[in-house]
Structure 1
Amino acid sequence: MKLSVVIPVYNEIHTVGEILSKVLQVDLPKEVIVVDDCSTDGTREFLKQWEASEAKRSKDQIRILLQPENRGKGAALRAGFKEATGEIVIVQDADLEYDPKEYPRLIEPILDGRADVVYGSRFLGTPRRVLMFRHTLGNKLLTFLSNLCTDLNLTDMETGYKVFKKEVLDHIHLKSNRFGFEPEITAKIAKMNYRIYEVPISYSGRDYWEGKKIRWIDGLKAVFSILRYNFFDSVTEDIVYQTLQRMKKLHRYNRWIFSEFQPFLGRRVLEIGSGIGNITKFLLDRDLVIATDVDPMYLTFLKNTFGQYKKFLIGNLDISGSELEPYRSYHIDSVICFNVLEHIAEDEKALKNIFDILEPGGRLLLFVPSQRWLYGSLDRHLGHHRRYDREELRKKLEDAGFRVIFLKYFNRIGILGWYLNSRILGRKKLPSFQLKIYNLLGPFFKMEGLLPLPFGTSLLAVAERPE
């Protein structure tokens, strides 16, 4: 695998040449991306000369990026990440506190498939320079607060050595411009459920007269960043992902949906569009579960969450496509398709493919949004092609060859919230506080079965492939 080494630099004229030399000495296939954050001490001029002379001699690809103004470490790293082409990205400070000889140890958990992210910990017992107790105490307090918010057990959240699979950085929307990068990236990879490893590293901390830039005010800003990125910020700008994360917390609602289908569920299950596993988690007692999606981010999430279970398989499946033959050999007796069919342009083809995958007597458990007149801004931003009317859905199922066992409306009270947010207020996503209230009132909504009115936010369907 190719390594991308991203080095943010600001006023490091006394150390930048040596650190670059040490990086190039590491015998790994790599590119070196140096991002100068508008240095004023001659670093910028040195880098231009160094690039012109060293780039011709080095076997590694070297690129120098010059920020137009001083924007901070976080902004410099974003610029470097954007240009990185390697499968693995490592952050390297330019101040000689971290030794590039550690690279093989840092990337090992990613190379052998154990990790998506690796932190190099200064506090796991390897040789280090003894220096500044108050800084150590501050680091441990910040790590403790971060762990409290993320439920991780890191020993060194603020470490300068962080290593990522490139796909991890591609999936995360970073915002912090300065030293808030460390708590921000930690909060967001925790929310994404990426596998994180720590490995011990050596550390040669420097004093302020040597150029150390962290001040006490940065510690206070880090506390603010920990709280902000854990509780008040989204991991990504992807509205579908944000919605899935919000729905993940609706435990009563998700259990309610699953309980409606559970009596019809077989032992060998294919789930189409598993997302982040909000329904998948209810399938642990099945004999075989194939959880699928088309989004690489969700597939990574599913592998990290369910990959340790031998009876779980994770696969990339476009149910409206033609690569279905491998799934027929699993003798699927149940297909779960919850809030997915409305995202598929060729829904009739998808239903026919599901029919073909199922064993005779197998069942499709289908959950879709209903009421065409409810279609609005929420649907558009979630990528819905349509909402379904009851008889329309019945006809599509029967045209695909299914025998409809039952078809009913679900979540009648939810129509009010969807109409308000989607048709009147024109929102992009459902507000978190509304969803939390809805989840709390979930037990009362189950009483809707006592009065089966001919409308609802969604449609539940169970359809069978005839013997």
Structure 2
Amino acid sequence: MTSLSVLVPVYNEQHLVATSLARLEVLEGSPHLERIQAIVVDDSSRDGTAAVLRAFAEQRGVQWLEDGPIESGVELKGHGRSGKIEWVFLRHVLNGGKGRAIRTALAEATGELTVIHDADLEYHPKDLARIVKVFVEEQADAVFGSRFAGAEARRALLFRHELGNRFLTFLTNWVTNVNLTDMETCYKAVRTDLLKSIPIISNDFRLEPELTIKLAKREARIFEVPISYSGRTYQEGKKINWRDGFKALWAILRFAISDRVYTDDAYGSQILGRLARAPRFNAWMADTIRPFCGQRVLEIGSGTGNLTRRLVPRQTYVASDINPLYLQTLNGLTVDRPYLDVTLTDVTRGDSFPQVPGGFDTVVCLNVIEHVDDDHGSLRNIRSVLSADGKAIILVPHGPGLLGTLDEVLGHKRRYTEETLRRLAKDAGFEVAEVLRFNRVGWPAWWLNGKVLRRKQFGLFQILTLNALTPVFRLVDKLLPFPPLSLIAILRPTTAGAAEAPVEPGEPSASTQATA
């Protein structure tokens, strides 16, 4: 069972909106829905839409407010429940377009899933029940209702309009490498937490390619379901036209180039998402540590799985992170990888670590411990889940003198020298088997951007250049006269370290206790 929020943007639909909303009541019969929320946003209609919405609400026992509270240009007009459906009626003081109405409604969404439903009669909510079923059975992140995938019924109408839709879908598929049949469909259902984490900026029908491209860039598991479609003519009130088609072309180009796919959050998701635009660099990192990986692997700080995909398959592989958005993406990888498990693991909390019989033979922890206050305790936690002959692969930023604005924006609390890294490992119960000096070519760029120019973000062009030149960097890196940007330590537990218990946040580490 799940819950569904239905977002209904309305503009000048006085003749159709009541019937369209009444159709939503068919969802009450769905065996997969325990709660339904319908959020209706009147985008400052100029016809009789407001009066029709009021009559509809009052027929269902929803109290209508003459002068509802207004916040950021949005007026609350009604809120109440009828059967299994919670109704919310909002009104824009000024017309803002479909995209803005969707953002207004999305801010109020509380269901686990969210879908867009137009206020006309082209789409029928009976198809939403089948869309919801896909989420329940297939671990989908998004499900599109396709008008061109062989539904039971489809009105034969507007051939040239369909050609335009198919062309825009083709272009979107080209830039995303996702084989959709109907990008322009209104019925786009998405997991609510995922949808809320995507920055939507389009105010008109450019919303359709924007949302599709950004979902693809977020590596969402997208499915399609055939739906019925009863299109209407322009004489019957259809609003989208050829001008919107040209706007969509520009939108496809714009969002194909852009990598703004995360809203700002406490985890720095957008910054790390940009770094993921260098898959060749990630492959270089994976190739460097792969020879040291065993068959029972715990990866801490997996992000969206850039490294995970390159290190599997293994007998057992547990990918972990603390960012709920990343965990959602990682869970999508488990569907066809039975050896892969995903869990929330906080490196500072020993009780959050997963356990396997005999312990993990490898713990991979890249670019993590420099973010935490107690790096000693974190390494001891890693030691606690390793087998007696296991290995910890730890990557940290090198060079305290390089600490600058880029480290600040990434949340780095420190950079290491080889000496401090070795001392840290010893204090945590490890012996250092090997230290690899990684990415000398990155040292000048980091120094220039973080120390001289004091930049607080990575330019997209810089990341794409890094990705393009990585094959060359791999060949010349060891020949360059620069210090490494990162150190990779291969650690083995010592006998003394085996006796130490996991460390909880606030508990002093071994080095702290010794100092005390």
Short-chain TM bin: over 0.9
- Partners of 1:102 and 1:264 in 2: CA distance: 50
8 Å Cα contact 2:169-2:181 kept in structure 1 = yes
TM-score (norm 2): 0.85
Which amino acid in 2 is paired with 1:26? L
Q: Following superposition of structure 1 onto structure 2, how do residues 87-236 of structure 1 map, counting pairs within 5 Å?
A: 87-126=112-151, 127-236=153-262
* CA pair 46-349 structure 1, distance change in 2 beyond 3 A: same
- Partners of 2:233 and 2:154 in 1: CA distance: 14
- Partners of 1:233 and 1:449 in 2: CA distance: 32
8 Å Cα contact 2:346-2:353 kept in structure 1 = no
Higher helix share: 1
Name the structure 2 match of 1:308: 336
8 Å Cα contact 2:290-2:311 kept in structure 1 = no
* CA pair 205-182 structure 1, distance change in 2 beyond 3 A: same
8 Å Cα contact 2:440-2:478 kept in structure 1 = no
State the 1:424 CA deviation: 2.3
* CA pair 23-330 structure 1, distance change in 2 beyond 3 A: farther
Which amino acid in 1 is paired with 2:331? K
8 Å Cα contact 2:281-2:470 kept in structure 1 = no
State the 1:359 CA deviation: 0.7
- Partners of 1:451 and 1:191 in 2: CA distance: 34
State the 1:40 CA deviation: 0.5
Unaligned runs of 5+ in 2: 63-80, 496-516
- Partners of 2:404 and 2:359 in 1: CA distance: 39
TM-score (norm 1): 0.94
Name the structure 2 match of 1:426: 454
Name the structure 1 match of 2:408: 380
- Partners of 1:40 and 1:324 in 2: CA distance: 56
- Partners of 2:320 and 2:170 in 1: CA distance: 36
CA deviations 1:313-335 (Å, max 9, x no partner) are 11111121132564143620111
- Partners of 1:255 and 1:144 in 2: CA distance: 30
- Partners of 2:437 and 2:476 in 1: CA distance: 13
CA RMSD of aligned residues (A): 2.1
- After TM superposition, the structure 1 stretch with the greater mean CA deviation from structure 2, 430-439 or 315-324, is 430-439
- Partners of 2:147 and 2:38 in 1: CA distance: 24
- Partners of 1:436 and 1:88 in 2: CA distance: 34
Which amino acid in 2 is paired with 1:17? A
- Partners of 1:377 and 1:58 in 2: CA distance: 54
- Partners of 1:74 and 1:35 in 2: CA distance: 11
Which amino acid in 2 is paired with 1:284? V
1:449 and 2:478 correspond? yes
Unaligned runs of 5+ in 1: none
- After TM superposition, the structure 1 stretch with the greater mean CA deviation from structure 2, 358-367 or 161-170, is 161-170
- Partners of 1:445 and 1:457 in 2: CA distance: 14
Which amino acid in 2 is paired with 1:358? L
Name the structure 2 match of 1:77: 102
8 Å Cα contact 1:183-1:225 kept in structure 2 = yes
Quick one: which of 12, 26, 51 aligns to 1:45?
51
1:30 and 2:31 correspond? no
Quick one: which of 68, 71, 75 aligns to 2:93?
68
Q: Following superposition of structure 1 onto structure 2, how do residues 401-420 of structure 1 map, counting pairs within 5 Å?
A: 401-420=429-448
State the 1:404 CA deviation: 1.1
CA deviations 1:241-260 (Å, max 9, x no partner) are 34444443434433333333
- After TM superposition, the structure 1 stretch with the greater mean CA deviation from structure 2, 438-447 or 331-340, is 438-447
State the 1:34 CA deviation: 0.1
- Partners of 1:37 and 1:327 in 2: CA distance: 53
Name the structure 1 match of 2:12: 11
* CA pair 251-207 structure 1, distance change in 2 beyond 3 A: closer
CA deviations 1:356-377 (Å, max 9, x no partner) are 1111121111111121222222
Quick one: which of 365, 372, 384 aligns to 1:337?
365
- After TM superposition, the structure 1 stretch with the greater mean CA deviation from structure 2, 338-347 or 246-255, is 246-255
State the 1:87 CA deviation: 0.8
* CA pair 330-190 structure 1, distance change in 2 beyond 3 A: farther
Name the structure 1 match of 2:283: 255
- Partners of 1:262 and 1:130 in 2: CA distance: 56
8 Å Cα contact 1:273-1:293 kept in structure 2 = yes
CA deviations 1:185-217 (Å, max 9, x no partner) are 100111111111111111111111211111110
1:427 aligned counterpart, secondary structure = coil
Name the structure 2 match of 1:319: 347
8 Å Cα contact 2:142-2:188 kept in structure 1 = yes
- Partners of 2:481 and 2:491 in 1: CA distance: 20
- Partners of 2:452 and 2:472 in 1: CA distance: 27
- Partners of 1:366 and 1:375 in 2: CA distance: 19
The count of residues paired between Structure 1 and Structure 2 equals: 466
- Partners of 1:339 and 1:103 in 2: CA distance: 42
1:2 aligned counterpart, secondary structure = strand
CA deviations 1:118-147 (Å, max 9, x no partner) are 111111222111111111111111111111
2:60 aligned counterpart, secondary structure = helix
- Partners of 1:373 and 1:37 in 2: CA distance: 55
Quick one: which of 351, 376, 381 aligns to 2:379?
351
- Partners of 1:154 and 1:448 in 2: CA distance: 41
* CA pair 69-402 structure 1, distance change in 2 beyond 3 A: same
1:51 aligned counterpart, secondary structure = helix
2:387 aligned counterpart, secondary structure = coil
- Partners of 1:294 and 1:233 in 2: CA distance: 22
- After TM superposition, the structure 1 stretch with the greater mean CA deviation from structure 2, 430-439 or 349-358, is 430-439
8 Å Cα contact 2:155-2:229 kept in structure 1 = yes
8 Å Cα contact 2:345-2:353 kept in structure 1 = no
State the 1:98 CA deviation: 0.7
1:157 aligned counterpart, secondary structure = coil
1:160 aligned counterpart, secondary structure = coil
